[in-house]
A and B are shown apart, each in its own frame.
Chain A
Amino acid sequence: MPEEKPDTMTRRTVIATAATAAFVPVGAIRSAAQTPAPQRIFSPEQKRTLEAFLERLCPKDELGPGAVEIGAQDYIEVQLGDYLAPEKQTFLDGLAAVDAYARTSQGSGLADLSAEKQDQVLTDIDSGKAPQNTRAFFNRARRLMLEGMFGDPHYGGNKNFAGWDLIRYPGPRLATSPDLQKMGVAIQPYRRSAWGNDGHNH
């Protein structure tokens, strides 16, 4: 992780959020981080396509749950209805482009293909073989999947802290003892959201 890097947002979010954020006072923007009421953004078909896509990016396998069980799609849906609302349409258009490419290249929508064919669609996008507009979606969806899997459950993803368990991140503590910085030992995970306490007592 390079330090003092500019915010890790992609250029696209920056532009999207800057447009809406410009005149909102600090307090108002910050409150957007409170748990939002879930909003239906995806049609059932869109949801199936997105889940199929995410599950190939991070499949359920012998290591444990994949992106969908960890709730990456829920993070994306909640956030596209809230903090990431300015990029909702772009995201949906990108998703449609991916599905359209699945149809033209493999003969049916992404969710209805075998895992191998789904992987072929993703590989085509990743390698630049698929139309250009699918590439931006791939990058953004992957980035949002990472946020949904490894971010605080407060935002709608990381169900049962399964994302943190996957990478063996031991959880956000408010203070740590030297034992928690011992090299080469397994650290007892602290499964708790940073928003699940008063911010002072632990």
Chain B
Amino acid sequence: MATNLKPVDVVVVGLGAAGGTAVLPLARAGLKIAGIEAGTWMDPAKDFKADEVHNNVRGMITTGNKIRREAPTFRTSPDQPAQQGGPSPMMNAIGGTSIHYHAQSWRLKPWDFKTVTEVKKRYGAGYLPKGSTVADWPIGWDDIEPFYDVVEHEIGVSGKAGNINGVLDPVGNVYEGPRRREYPMPPLRTCDYLEHMKSAARSLGWKPFHSPAAINSEPYKGRTSCGYHGYCDRGGCHLRAKNSTCFTTIPEAQKTKNLTIFDRAQVTRILADSNGRVTGVQYLRDGQEFFQPAKAVLIGSYTYENVRLLLVSKSKAFPNGLSNNHGQVGKHYFGHWDAQAGAGVNALFPMDLNIWYGAILSQGVVIDEWADDSFDHSGLGFIGGASLTVYTEKHPIASAASATFGQAPQWGSKWKAWIHQNAGRAASAYLQANSFPYENTYLDLDPEIKDPLGDSVIRVTSGPKENERQACLYAQDKMEQWFKAAGATVVTKGNPTGPRLSTHTYGGTRMGDNPETSVVDKWGLAHEAPNLGMLGGSVFATSGARNPTLTIQALAWRTADHLAKNWNEIAG
């Protein structure tokens, strides 16, 4: 029997990028919050190492935890058997994946929120991808911009504005939507390689700019600036210069004394009464079951678990899973077409790049000419495109293990001589393409594979997509052009076949005005269970051509802010 705990105002499930952000506006509004998190605190001095075996080969920061026990299964079509994929690099800890992510901290574009309308207007309805269920978001630029601004300043984002209230500055990204003010910190430090790539881009007539990064380029709010130490990827920041929620919004919320954290606690069910209102959550801690009653519940457990928690939480009011009486939970899911999906590009240079150190994508330079609707797509046969990022940070094992560009065998003296000269001369580019939801891509419960508690894992079905593939191929050609202009002697391109399990996942609890085609409303609250909110990429209707986290955080803040400001109507 579950132990009943003292009721709180709000339960937040998962204290990662999304949940860890939402707790702050709630706490500041004076609401009593229980933050229930499967992982625990990590110690920057002890846990975070400049060690590739530890971080990247063995995933010591990212594995050995809950996410391993419930890895989703994957298939490319419903007539195929789904197989459990490799380990997910998503994290279970206070701070979640924001602990070790690459911290590129992007705003989406106004176009991303109104893609259907804009495409119809510019190219006609026939240009929308076949089989896609893409819809306009129920919110637009003016709705989200204030929250981007709040989060950028709260956690600290480094960057250079390209458009302040319509005034363009080509040192920043002129393709961005208008922002109300400059970033709180200048971009991260540049270096020779990035300057070299910038001149090459300019020689092509393009406008390179530095990555926006949730990493301190200068001391900010009592924390030091980045050490560019080159183990940013999957490591966690030993200097606390990466603005993970465990260093920013979560401790800030704790200061109010309104947030109580229950760590090492796995939420297993969200409970609802017969009127369709959620009443609290059930969780397991040290093998014991607890029931935490609450007036409202916000779920920020990453897309796969967000959907799974709803689907396994069945009740009288919701026989097919919480807030799923319209059968929309799990629908309109999609993964991002990026390097994981085969859209990478690699280059070999004739000189030592010395990009061993750095801060991965965050110490990067980006081209946005070929993303979103920055260019005319007439006659191209696809919509969207991809952002192109070149960056620093190379690790020794991966550098020695990388392909030899057809110039040497994989072993023997010739190989040895090749890596001696070239391990430090190869660079990769990170491409992220605009991706959309489709009928052939969705999440449901795997009928066979279960976690150790006996609950089904998520099954991902994700079929091929011609629009995204064409967009990737187009952008990869541009990237090749860029590398060649910079003097690369060989360039190789990945084969963009599409995402499998992804670290950028969207939809499943899509945001929309219509309960027939979405799960949450424009505030992130469930159509069918109004005191339940969903946080994370699972509410996105489109992906944009850039990483999701700042948008996840802006939306999480917005949902929490709305809940606090309308507390009596929503939770009373």
A residues near B (Cβ < 8 Å) are: 1-9, 11, 14, 18, 21-26, 29-30, 33, 56-59, 61, 63, 66, 83, 119, 122, 126, 142-143, 146-147, 149-152, 154-155, 163-164, 166-170, 172-176, 178, 180-187, 194-195, 198-200
Contact = CB atoms under 8 A, between A and B. Distances in A.
Contacts of A195: 49, 51
Contacts of A183: 191-193, 196, 351-354
Interface stretch (B376-384, B391-399, B506-514): B391-399
Greatest chain A CB density within 10 A among B54, B65, B504 is at: B54
Nearest to A24: B64
Nearest to B191: A181
Size bracket, chain B contacts: 35 or more
B193 A194 contact: no
A18 B57 CA distance: 14
Given A1-B394, A7-B62, A175-B228, A167 B420 contact: yes
B503 A4 contact: yes
A37 B67 CA distance: 30
Interface string B78-90: 0000000111110
Contacts of B228: 175-176, 181
Given A166-B416, A170-B356, A194 B68 contact: no
Contacts of A174: 50, 227, 229, 238-239
Contact of B416 (A63, A83, A147, A168): A63
A36 to B, nearest CB: 13
A173 B50 contact: yes
Interface stretch (B39-47, B292-300, B463-471, B517-525): B39-47
9 contacts: A6-B501, A30-B47, A63-B420, A167-B400, A169-B424, A183-B191, A183-B193, A194-B54, A199-B45
Interface string B348-387: 0001111111101100000000000000000000000000
B87 A6 contact: yes
Contacts of B399: 1, 150, 167, 169
B56 interface: yes
A167 B62 contact: no
B291 interface: no
B230 interface: yes
A168 B421 CA distance: 8
A21 to B, nearest CB: 5
A137 B57 CA distance: 18
Contacts of B351: 183-184
B401 A83 contact: no
Contacts of B68: 18, 21-22
A33 B48 CA distance: 12
Interface stretch (B29-37, B301-309, B405-413, B535-543): B405-413
Interface of B: 39-40, 45-54, 56-60, 62-65, 68-69, 85-89, 92-93, 102, 189, 191-193, 196, 227-231, 233, 238-239, 338-340, 344, 351-358, 360-361, 391-392, 394-402, 410-413, 415-417, 419-420, 423-424, 428, 430, 452, 494, 501, 503-504
Contacts of A66: 416
- Nearest 4 Cβ contacts at the A-B interface: A175-B227, A29-B64, A183-B192, A181-B191
Contacts of A182: 191-192, 354
Contacts of A150: 52, 396-397, 399-400
Given A3-B361, A6-B501, A151-B57, 10 more contacts: A1-B399, A4-B89, A25-B64, A59-B416, A150-B52, A152-B51, A167-B420, A168-B352, A170-B356, A194-B54
Contact of A146 (B40, B51, B397): B397
Contacts of B89: 4, 6-7
Nearest to B48: A199
A169 B231 contact: no
Nearest to B364: A3
B103 to A, nearest CB: 12
B229 A173 contact: yes
B359 to A, nearest CB: 10
Nearest to A149: B400
A12 to B, nearest CB: 11
A8 B360 CA distance: 17
A146 B357 contact: no
A18 B87 contact: yes
A166 B192 CA distance: 23
A103 to B, nearest CB: 21
A182 B392 CA distance: 12
Nearest to A22: B69
Contacts of B339: 2-5
A166 B69 CA distance: 39
A122 B411 CA distance: 10
Contact of A58 (B52, B360, B411, B430): B411
B428 A1 contact: yes
Contacts of B400: 146, 149-150, 163, 167
Given A59-B416, A175-B229, A180-B357, A3 B430 contact: yes
A155 B64 CA distance: 19
Nearest to A58: B416
Contacts of B423: 167-169
A182 B407 CA distance: 26
Contact of A21 (B47, B64, B415): B64
Contacts of A30: 47, 60, 64
A40 to B, nearest CB: 22
A3 B60 CA distance: 17
Given A152-B51, A176-B228, A5 B355 contact: no
A8 B57 contact: yes
B398 A8 contact: yes
A6 B340 contact: yes
Contacts of B411: 56-58, 122, 126, 142
Contacts of B193: 181, 183
A163 B354 contact: no
B93 to A, nearest CB: 8
Contacts of A21: 63-64, 68
Contacts of B504: 4
Given A4-B339, A180-B357, A194 B51 contact: yes
Nearest to A145: B411
A166 B421 CA distance: 9
B189 A194 contact: no
B417 A181 contact: no
A28 to B, nearest CB: 8
Greatest chain A CB density within 10 A among B40, B231, B397 is at: B397
A119 to B, nearest CB: 7
A142 B400 CA distance: 11
A176 B229 contact: yes
Greatest chain B CB density within 10 A among A170, A174, A175, A198 is at: A175
Contacts of A169: 356, 396, 399, 423-424
B333 to A, nearest CB: 18
Contacts of B53: 33, 147, 151-152, 154-155
